[in-house]
Amino acid sequence: MDRFNAMRIFTRIVELESFSKAAEDLQIPAATATYTIKQLEARLGVRLLQRTTRHVSTTLDGQAYYQRCVRILADVEETEAGFGNSGVAPRGKLRVDLQGTLALHYVLPRLQEFFGRYPDIELEIGMGDRYVDLVRDGVDCVLRVGELRDSSMVGRRLATLQQVTCGSAAYFERHGVPLTLDDLHKQGHRAVNFFSSSTGKLFPFDFIVDGKERSIALPGAVSVSNADAYKACCAHGLGLIQVPRYHIDGLLARGALREVLGDWRPRPMTVSVVYPHQRQLSPRVRVFVDWLSDVMSAAS
């Protein structure tokens, strides 16, 4: 039995809490995963996993062995990465998750450039705004906007995005153009509200007044959790929105949308790439993170 391969299979089963998901993730038959763990437990003389019809968890011995395996596998990858200049190009599957509008605007148009540099890397790209558990979901890194809160992950800031408040010409004909923040309530302005798909919480409008942040909640007839729907509802006159400028540059240039309250723009939004905390990135993650940094440098 290949001990390193057995460790990799075991750690993915623990992280995904499933034999079938681990087998799919590693692209091996489920029977191979089951047989490998049986052989591993027999060789070690201990039970590593508790199995039910719906759930797989570690025993006390299994948890201790898992922690050792993680360190050993990290050491192996770190050692191999240390020979990055040996002429061996990064290769293998790389699983990434990208915030949707950033991916469409900045990343996907330049992917051919990445593959030109690293033809032996295979990318598996998820897109969206949902929370991703990098370890459990088997994702190598994510591209996200906003402040980072998970201290167990490494975040590398790539860019800052200017944010604007805007509405459509038809909307301003009905409600007037707000010249001050107080006008938002005085003139009865409405919002296309954006809510978190994970918590359901509505995000208020943020403005910087004398160096301090001021949040204003506005009523609205429609709330969305998708960036494209948010922009479309605004363009059709349903209310004001607050977005990174790059997302609506074309609409602003054509006059379909108009920025207001520019003297009190919210703080720029940060863009970061996030990956699990390790002493050394694998070569394929490292080159992708460096490439993302180059791509997003044009956004600031």
* Class of the CATH-defined domain 3-81: mainly alpha
What confidence score (pLDDT) does residue 112 get?
96
Q: What is the pLDDT of residues 167-183, one digit of tens each?
A: 999 999 999 999 999 99
Domains 92-154+273-296 and 163-267 share a fold: yes
Q: Which fold has domain 163-267?
A: D-Maltodextrin-Binding Protein; domain 2 (3.40.190)
pLDDT tens digits, one per residue of 205-251: 999 999 999 999 999 999 999 889 999 999 999 999 999 999 999 99
- Going by pLDDT thresholds of 50, 70 and 90, the confidence category of residue 15 is confident
CA–chain centroid gap for 39, Å, is: 37
Poorest-confidence range of 1-15, 17-31, 64-78, 195-209?
Answer: 64-78
Query: CA 205: distance to chain centroid?
Result: 23
CATH number belonging to domain 92-154+273-296: 3.40.190.10
Domain boundaries, the chain: 3-81, 92-154+273-296, 163-267
> What pLDDT digit, counting tens, does each position of 113-145 carry?
999 999 989 898 998 666 677 766 678 889 988
pLDDT of the residue at 73: 79
